[in-house]
Amino acid sequence: MSDWRQFKIKQREKRMAKPGKKGKGESKDLKDEIIVQRMSSEVTGKQQKYTRIGPQEFVPFEHDELTFENIVESCQKYFAKHIEKRHDIKVFYVRFVKPEAPNEIDEEADDHESTQPPKKAKRRAMSLPSPKKSSSKHDNSSKYPKSLSVKDMLHLGKALPKKESTIISIFQFNFKHMRWSSVPIKAEFMIEELPFATGGFREAFKATSITAGFEETTWVVKKYLTTAVDVIRETNETEQTHAQKSVQMHYLAKNFASQLNEKIVKDGITDFGEAFSYKKVFMGKTDDGEY
């Protein structure tokens, strides 16, 4: 130890010996040693805590201020001496826990060679790249042209008969925001003449569409019975409000079914088969004002 450091230590001890006097920046709890407890590098157990490794050790502390940098430097010097005495172990893992910003990450590994003390890890800000958007050109490459028979080709050379269709204004209910759409979507449907089912309020008809977004499936169009319309009006309601309430309750049941399905998938329950699910439902209005 140099003469200047010895003089500095004596001056500090002299100041500490005088009661009621304390230099600026000095701490009365500052000592020549600090107690260090080594911890595991990974959490274990049900409570996910770091476990202690070995007993607590007294590490010499030759600094005037108790700061994080000074503590790290003292630990590096102390443990580097102990590492040099151990020839049976090649690599030691030293971990210093320090709060960091949420957008900073460590670049260097935690392991260091026994002949070198651990270095401070460099940090840099990191931002995640935005996901790549798939181009429409790539999506269209997976679609194939329709295969036509000779009979269909011959029909295209003639004037095709016009089929009766119904233009329906479709209103959607947003369950997340609990609001109905103000601007409807107009779609053309070819509705069968005879219903395939009849209930207490409506008749159900099968229908197909050539409108984009509705053409790839068979739809069910429900129409109110004449007797049901009279009952609805007797309760001071309209077909519109009655249809809106029916759609809203449908989405409520659909939400319950979705929550149940998520619970089954999360818990891995397979004893009862697939969960019940609901399809999309819209409120439609024809040009004649029929719901």
- Quick one: pLDDT band at residue 30, thresholds 50, 70, 90? low
- Summary mean pLDDT of the chain: 75
Going by CATH, does the domain composed of 165-286 fall within 1.10.8.100? no
Strand partners, 205: 221
Please classify residue 72 by burial: count the beta carbons closer than 10 Å to its beta carbon, then call 0-12 exposed, 13-18 middle and 19+ buried: middle
Closest among 205, 216, 196, 201 to 165, alpha carbons compared: 205
Alpha-carbon distance 108 to 94, whole Å? 13
Where do the structural domains in the chain lie, given as residue ranges?
31-99, 165-286
Report the share of the chain in percent with pLDDT over 70. 71
pLDDT computed for residue 82 by the predictor: 65
Q: Compute the Cα dihedral for 182, 187, 193, 197 and give only its sign.
A: negative
Q: What is the DSSP letter of 251?
A: H
pLDDT computed for residue 250 by the predictor: 92
pTM above 0.85, yes or no: no
Please classify residue 246 by burial: count the beta carbons closer than 10 Å to its beta carbon, then call 0-12 exposed, 13-18 middle and 19+ buried: middle
Interval 145-203: pLDDT, tens: 777 787 777 777 777 666 788 899 999 998 888 999 889 999 999 999 899 999 888 99
Q: Indicate the residue type of 23.
A: G
Interval 196-255: pLDDT, tens: 999 888 999 999 998 888 888 899 999 999 898 899 999 889 999 999 999 999 999 999
Q: Does residue 128 have a pLDDT over 50?
A: no
Q: Which of the pair, 286 or 153, is modelled with greater confidence?
A: 286
| Most confident of the ranges 19-28, 34-43, 139-148 | 34-43
Q: Does residue 111 have a pLDDT over 50?
A: no
